[in-house]
Amino acid sequence: MKTYAVIVAAGKGSRFGAGMPKQFCNLGGRPLLMTTVERMASAVGVDNVVLVVDATMADFWLELCLEHGFESPTLVYGGATRLESVHNALEAIASECDDEAVVMIHDGARPLASVEFLRNMTVIPQQVDGVIPVVPVTDSLRQLAGDESSVAVERSRYVAVQTPQTFYLNPLLEAYRDVAENGYLAEGLTDDASVMEAAGVKNIALSQGEPTNIKVTNPLDLAIAETLLHNQKSL
């Protein structure tokens, strides 16, 4: 069964505060996104990678690839939201894939996932409908109430979810088509697992994530990622 990887990198990066979207900011001497693509391509092959970018940034990305001698995977244009961007990529894959396939959805701003970890995430365990990586929550947690009060909750009952998240293409695409009919507006749909659950698919396995598989969302994250990347290269 063929395995595809969708890398979602169509965000505007408004929370990051830089002059350009975070996925194009420098990490290790080149755009952060190149490390993400390179590692995913090592796991599934560059021909099986679909990169989702904003239409207005496509030429900029290709210019960066030319500048750095980097091979870009297939490009798909993103939508107004992450959900719409993933949906666009799934439709593009389905248009060229006649049989069932496995698809991994990964954040472009998670450049430090190891190739071994990514390869492990290509496998969906038997008798489940998908698999997502998680890591333990180490901070204490409190649940906010509507009156601005809060209450402590037991952190051992919670995990933090990462990407890539891996599902069979056809049921994932059907779930996204259902969400699209509602304008991608359903509450609580923050990742692909939540889209599948909204469609009634709840048999999703949890897999051990990687502590270094951080998502770059602010300049401090980028500085941490720079250090982690340097340490990985020195091993």
pLDDT at res. 234 = 77
- CATH number of the domain enclosing 59: 3.90.550.10
pLDDT at res. 18 = 60
- Provide the angle, in degrees to the nearest 10, between the axes of the packed helices 32-44 and 58-68: 80
- Residues 45-77 pLDDT 10s: 999 999 999 999 999 999 999 999 999 999 999
Domain count, the chain: 1
Q: How far is residue 183's CA from residue 84's CA, in Å, rounded to a whole number?
A: 9
pTM of the model: 0.95
pLDDT at res. 14 = 58
Confidence of residue 183 (pLDDT cuts 50, 70, 90): confident
The mean per-residue pLDDT over the stretch 90-118 comes to 95
Q: Does residue 27 contact residue 229 with C-beta atoms inside 8 Å?
A: yes
Q: CB neighbours (10 Å) of residue 170?
A: 15
pLDDT at res. 97 = 86
Q: Does residue 193 contact residue 204 with C-beta atoms inside 8 Å?
A: yes
Q: Percent of the chain having pLDDT more than 90?
A: 85
Which residues are registered as beta bridge partners of 132?
206
Average pLDDT score over the chain: 94
Domain range for 176 is 3-234
Q: Percent of the chain having pLDDT more than 70?
A: 97
Residue 26 has pLDDT above 90, yes or no: yes
- Token pair 């051992």 in the structure block, residue: 156
Residue 156 has pLDDT above 80, yes or no: yes
The mean per-residue pLDDT over the stretch 117-129 comes to 97
